[in-house]
Amino acid sequence: MLKVLLADDHTIVREGLRALLASDAGIEIVGEASNGLEAVQLAERTKPDVVVMDLAMPELNGVDATARIRAASPTTQVVVLSMHATAAHVRPALKAGARGYLLKGSGLSDLLRAIRSVAGGEAFFSPAVASLLLESDDESGGALTPREREVLQLVGEGHSSASIAERLHLSVKTVEGHRSRLMVKLRATNVAGLVRHAVRLGLVDPSAATE
């Protein structure tokens, strides 16, 4: 029996995944998370074999949630389930420790294969993702540190430097430093530019982005 944790901020997606996976007698859903921080907390408590992880979630994005889960529970594997298949989304997720990357819209059979593959120590990628990994080029975003991604996500969600500082237990000066480095790395000229990059990198859902 494989223990699986579902992490997606859309209730209807989680319910759909639960209904699909319930048809397999070899899988037990041990929890559902609606944001990245909740996913980390549930994973630490339930020690699932596999986490099915969305990338664009509030509080903590899927990339950094994956890194924290893998650090806290090395036996837990992560399958990213995303609508995005660009290098800017895929490469950071794999660097964070994800062993599978599946595109939303894939069939149940692919999802089951992905879960069993990563649980067995193998990797599993959608064809479009596998093709991407064969390419040598990389896009901006992969070089961002976990802290920079956290700050970028919160900027994209509309938080001020003071609010970000309070949430991340940093000084406002430190947050401003992160924002300045993000502007340079991403070649953004203003906050709106940072927000657009947060959306492009899958850190913020377009409907939740605030320019």
**Residue 139 resides in a domain:** no
Q: What is the CATH number of the domain that holds 8?
A: 3.40.50.2300
Residue 163 and residue 116 share a domain: no
Residue 10 pLDDT exceeds 70: yes
**Residue 202 resides in a domain:** yes
Q: Count CB atoms within 10 A of the CB of residue 40.
A: 24
Residue 75 and residue 9 share a domain: yes
For residue 174, what is the enclosing H or E element?
helix 172-186
Q: Count CB atoms within 10 A of the CB of residue 33.
A: 24
Residue 56 DSSP symbol: S
Q: Residues 10-34: what's their mean pLDDT?
A: 94
Residue 179 and residue 124 share a domain: no
Per-residue pLDDT at 155: 92
Residue 195 and residue 125 share a domain: no
**Residue 140 resides in a domain:** no
For residue 82, what is the enclosing H or E element?
strand 77-82
HSE of 40 in the Cβ direction (CA atoms, 13 Å)?
Answer: 18
Residue 124 and residue 162 share a domain: no
184 vs 148: which has the higher pLDDT: 148
- pLDDT tens-digit readout, 42-76: 999 999 999 999 998 998 999 999 999 999 998 99
210 vs 75: which has the higher pLDDT: 75
In the three-class reduction of DSSP (H, G, I as helix; E, B as strand; rest coil), residue 50 is classed as: strand
Per-residue pLDDT at 211: 56
Residue 157 and residue 117 share a domain: no
Please tell me the total count of domains within the chain: 2
- pLDDT tens-digit readout, 110-157: 999 999 999 988 889 888 887 777 564 444 455 788 899 899 999 999
In single-letter form, the type of residue at position 177 comes to G
Residue range(s) defining the domain that contains residue 172: 146-208
Q: What is the CATH number of the domain that holds 150?
A: 1.10.10.10
**Residue 192 resides in a domain:** yes
Residue 165 and residue 63 share a domain: no
**Residue 89 resides in a domain:** yes
- pLDDT tens-digit readout, 66-108: 999 999 998 999 999 999 888 888 888 988 999 999 998 888 8
Per-residue pLDDT at 137: 44
Residue 188 DSSP symbol: -
Residue 150 and residue 129 share a domain: no
Per-residue pLDDT at 209: 65
Per-residue pLDDT at 40: 97
Residue 183 and residue 88 share a domain: no
